[in-house]
Chains A and B, each alone.
Chain A
Amino acid sequence: MTMIYLPDSAPGPEMSALSASPPSLAGARIAVLDNGKPNAGVAMVRAANTLASRTGATVSLVTKKGPQGQSANAAEPMARDIFERLTDEADLVITGAADCGSCTAYSVQDAIELERAGIPAVVMTTTMFEPITTTLSANFGLADTRRLVMPHPIGGTDEATLHQWADAATDQLISLFTTGA
């Protein structure tokens, strides 16, 4: 059999870089962008509150990603009005939960859009979906998205355990926001 390889291909994604990381989080406004997955809000709000109390930041906005923040479909990108609120009202965003295929894809896409707008954005994923988060980040044009990897699963885990996981992730969250890694 003869294999013929074409030298052309479809255009790749627009390549991006992380937005500038602040040297300190004191005074920063943190937003939580919730895709509505079970317990996503519980884990991310706890992480944001703990981060704020440790660093002198404030939690300025907690919203779902659908229009007017009233609801969310995890398999869609954030609504335009929510993007505008985030860029107006936040300096840092925690988004997720990236704990299924499509919710990972759109959480990564949302994070990249925010990074392009100059807002550092952390994607909360889980150990199970970390490989997918990594692959999709590269495929969408920003291989080095800020990824906070939690134990799996977030959905179905009790609130006290989620709070423990979120608290334990604070040092990593600080590092992701201030250094990108």
Chain B
Amino acid sequence: MSGDLNLEPARQVMAADGIGLSLIELRGADAHLLLSVIDADCAECVLPRHMLEPVVLDLLRPANPDLRAVHIVDPRESPEPDPTPAT
């Protein structure tokens, strides 16, 4: 798969839940996307990543028929920084 990825079909729906999507990298037919929270008023509204990835894939496929998989980097899953200073 080559060229840009059209994210608009997914962005419109995700925006309704207050989240954004941006492309990190297109690796072959796999898209690696970054989720960003742009409105946290309904934090529980946003699907967990394992449900979100197939939904985003289905939303993107009509405009990107060669796309095979979507991998989302979800900042909600990032571990809290260790407050203990390094020694």
Binding site for B on A (CB under 8 A): 1, 3, 73-75, 99-105, 128-129, 131-132, 134-136, 139, 152-153
Contacts and interface: CB of A to CB of B under 8 A. Distances in A.
A128 B55 contact: no
Given A102-B48, A135-B54, 17 more contacts: A1-B28, A73-B44, A75-B45, A99-B16, A100-B16, A100-B42, A101-B52, A102-B44, A103-B45, A104-B47, A128-B16, A129-B13, A131-B13, A131-B58, A132-B47, A135-B58, A136-B51
Given A73-B44, A74-B44, A131-B59, A105 B51 contact: yes
A102 B58 contact: no
B21 to A, nearest CB: 13
A90 to B, nearest CB: 27
A73 B46 CA distance: 13
Interface residues of B, number: 17
A131 B52 CA distance: 12
Contacts of B45: 74-75, 100-103
B59 A101 contact: no
A132 B13 contact: yes
Given A75-B45, A101-B46, A152 B16 contact: yes
